[in-house]
């Protein structure tokens, strides 16, 4: 007979894992990791205010027309783009962030599975998921740390001035995308730690008592 077990701690762990995945996806797609000063441009005889910025794989620049987006991808060729267009360090950062996102996405799936299955190959699904989240957190750390290493490339010089260098922004400032990425990285390790009390709550004596009573849907605070 199958059982569906949901506790407050396991539910919190699952929701935080999902939140981490969504936040890092948002950060990866954000063009606002570093921003320059607000500027004005003439578009169709009108003055338009815009803020140039760079992300891991997206950018915001000078508008060239009403029907042209201000924010676009750095290169449609992706990782195959020229390093002057899309710096190699940012390519590596993108790869690590995507790897971390994939792992976090898998833990979200295993979190949902944990309501019905508590072990895989005689190993706790929570323990395995927590370990995987640590791996995802390490990937996020590498991705976030690699981005500042390219602040001295030509692309960053055009935005932040010639004084910009690795880990020094020059005339630019840190944008919301980088803050979200850093916050998500920290939260990922918090999720990994929460997998332990989530496991404890689903294997507690209260849960076992409910199972002995013949209940198949078990919800506990």
Beta carbons of 114 and 126 less than 8 angstroms apart: yes
pLDDT at position 220:
60
Which residue in the block uniquely carries the two structure tokens 């190993």? 123
Residue 33 per-residue DSSP state: S
Task: Give whichever of 41-55, 87-101, 119-133 has the largest mean pLDDT.
Answer: 87-101
Confidence class for position 214, pLDDT limits 50, 70, 90: low
CB atoms within 10 A of CB 122: 5
Angle of the 88-113 helix axis to the 125-149 helix axis, nearest 10: 160
Q: Give the residue, 78 or 151, on which the prediction is more confident.
A: 151
Which residue in the block uniquely carries the two structure tokens 């570093």? 34
Q: How does the average pLDDT of the chain come out, rounded?
A: 84
pLDDT at position 74:
80
Confidence class for position 20, pLDDT limits 50, 70, 90: very high
In 44-87, DSSP assigns E strands to 46-50, 53-54, 58-60, 71-73
Confidence class for position 207, pLDDT limits 50, 70, 90: low
pLDDT of 184 above 90: yes
Confidence class for position 124, pLDDT limits 50, 70, 90: confident
pLDDT at position 77:
76
pLDDT at position 145:
94
Q: Give the residue, 183 or 43, on which the prediction is more confident.
A: 183
Return d(Cα 87, Cα 89) in angstroms, integer: 5
Overall average pLDDT of the 161-166 stretch: 89
pLDDT of 198 above 50: yes
Domains of the chain, CATH where assigned: 4-31+87-219 (1.20.140)
Confidence class for position 86, pLDDT limits 50, 70, 90: confident
pLDDT at position 9:
83
pLDDT one-digit tens code per residue, 45-59:
777 788 889 999 888
Here the tokens at position 182 are: 């850093």
pLDDT of 121 above 80: no
pLDDT at position 68:
61
pLDDT at position 211:
59
């Amino acid at each position: 007979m199958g059982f569906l077990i949901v506790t407050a701690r396991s539910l919190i762990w699952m929701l935080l894992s999902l939140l981490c995945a969504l936040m890092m996806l948002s950060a990866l797609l954000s063009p606002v990791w570093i921003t320059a000063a607000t500027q004005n441009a003439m578009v169709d005889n009108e003055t338009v205010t815009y803020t140039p910025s760079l992300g891991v794989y997206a950018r915001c620049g000078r508008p060239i027309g009403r029907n042209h987006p201000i924010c676009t991808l750095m290169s449609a060729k992706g990782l195959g783009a020229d390093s002057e267009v899309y710096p190699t360090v940012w390519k590596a950062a993108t790869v690590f962030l995507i790897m971390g996102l994939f792992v976090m996405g898998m833990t979200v799936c295993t979190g949902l599975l944990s309501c019905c299955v508590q072990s895989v190959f005689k190993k706790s699904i929570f323990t395995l998921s927590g370990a995987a989240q640590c791996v995802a957190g390490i990937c996020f750390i590498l991705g976030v740390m690699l981005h500042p290493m390219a602040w001295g490339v030509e692309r960053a010089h055009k935005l932040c001035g010639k004084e910009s260098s690795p880990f020094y922004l020059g005339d630019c400032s840190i944008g919301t995308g980088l803050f979200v990425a850093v916050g998500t990285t920290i939260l990922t390790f918090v999720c990994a730690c929460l997998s332990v009390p989530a496991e404890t709550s689903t294997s507690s004596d209260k849960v076992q008592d409910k199972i002995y009573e013949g209940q198949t849907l078990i919800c506990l605070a």
